[in-house]
Structure 1
Amino acid sequence: MDFFTAPPAPDREPEEEKTLPPWLGPPDTVLGRTVDISRTLFHSEALVIVLTSAVAFPEGAKLYIRMAARPVEGVNKDTWWERRDLMFERRHRRFHPGTSLEDEVLRFGVRFPDGGKATTVDGRPHYGGEWPPPRPDGPILQERGGGGGGGGDHFISFGWNLWLWPLPPAEPFEFAVEWPAFDVPLTFTEIDGAAIAAASEHARPYWP
């Protein structure tokens, strides 16, 4: 006779499956098509920021950012370690809507030819518990996580994943970056939207 037995399964109704709307993130069951971009967004002796690639889906795209930094002559050790901590602490997320952005806040953004724009500091739309959440009026650019590593005193790197909705138009659009704490002024780089739009046509579901 068994002394230890597992409890019976709870008697409950199965939860309704919720499909994530495309403006909140990429579809879970679709394999996107990768597009090589390799555009340098900012370059100095101390810091490099590159938009390396995109993964295109039918209604949006994941954008991959890579950043590398190193100490340079004229920057003292304390400043270097402050910047190193800033990159790893991800303080670019710590801001309060309605207030001025601090220099430590890292900002990414896009601007489409029709004037529509989206940035990572716009804040998340509030849905009030409604499901499915209402479709936003304009484009959205949201951070989707990241990570990195480095060589201690001599080199650090970090990567960010962003979700852009909707797909950019099949024409050039602008990608913006600004980070005053790292002496990065507001800088715009032209990106080929046609390549991303074309790649989205090759995205396919994992199961037909």
Structure 2
Amino acid sequence: MPIGRMLFHSGTLAIALSTVTAFPEGVEINIRMAARLVEGVNDDTWWDRHDALFGHRHHRFRPGQSLNDETIRFGVRFPDGAKATTLDGRLERRDWPPPRPEGPILDHRGGGGGSGGARSATSRWNLWLWPLPPPETFEFAVEWPAFGVPLTFTEIDGATIAAAAGRARPYWP
């Protein structure tokens, strides 16, 4: 379902939460990003931004390790105070079905699509949020210091996501 919320916008970068696909137990969140080259930005900076936009410069964060500014951070905070970020650790995918996590998780699941060149670039990132958010307003956060994105919170209507999850049907019985 469309969400269409701008998470961050500047003269050189836009980050939007475009759509979600709601399942009975979680949500796939689709992020769209676009960057453009403007006067005064050198080639090295542009190509670093270009590569980061496509996830080519993915930085793994480990507890106890300092976080570098090139790492984009997404997060959620529910009304009860529960929160999760894309830095909390990845889900282990060796076991199926995977073990149920202790609390909420927000996992980067790749992306792709888009286009890029010498003057502009667009990309799509997919995130997985578990469990399904409560049917009330919650916060979605983004931060990307290297590219001038301060910690920014955007309110998302959990009721519409919960309603969509209620309409979800399995592919096979």
TM-score (norm 2): 0.91
Quick one: distance in 1 between partners of 2:133 and 2:17? Answer: 15
Preserved contact between residue 51 and residue 57 of structure 2 (Cα < 8 Å): no
* Partner of residue 70 from structure 2, selected from 92, 99, 104: 104
2:120 corresponds to which residue? 155
Deviation at 1:137, TM superposition (A): 2.0
Q: Residue 196 of structure 1: which of 143, 155, 161 is its match?
A: 161
2:53 is matched with 87
Seen in structure 2, the aligned counterparts of structure 1 residues 125 and 158 have a Cα distance that, compared at 3 Å, is: closer
Does the CA-based 8 Å contact 1:92-1:107 persist in structure 2? no
- Counterparts of 2:92 and 2:163, CA distance in 1: 32
Instruction: Determine which of 72, 86, 90 is the counterpart of 1:120.
Output: 86
Question: How many residue pairs get matched?
Answer: 173
Q: CA deviation at 1:59?
A: 0.7
- Structure 2 segments unaligned to the other structure (5+ residues): none
- Bigger Rg over Cα: 1
1:173 to 129, 138, 152: 138
SS state at 1:115 partner: coil
The residue that corresponds to 1:10 in the other structure is none
Q: Which runs of 5+ in 1 are unaligned?
A: 1-34
| Contact 1:66-1:159 at 8 Å conserved across structures | yes
1:71/1:199 Cα in 2 relative to 1: closer, same or farther (>3 Å)?
A: same
Q: Does 1:182 align with 2:165?
A: no
Greater share of residues in strand = 2
C-alpha distance 200-89 of structure 1, shift in aligned 2 (>3 A)? closer
What letter corresponds to residue 167 of structure 1 in structure 2?
L
The RMSD of aligned alpha carbons is 2.0
Deviation at 1:131, TM superposition (A): 7.1
TM-score, length-scaled by structure 1: 0.76
Q: Give 1:170's aligned amino acid.
A: P
Residue from 127, 136, 140 that aligns with 2:101? 136
Q: Distance in 2 between matches of 1:108 and 1:150?
A: 22
**How has the CA–CA distance of structure 1 residues 148 and 172 changed in structure 2, closer, same or farther, with 3 Å as cutoff?**
same
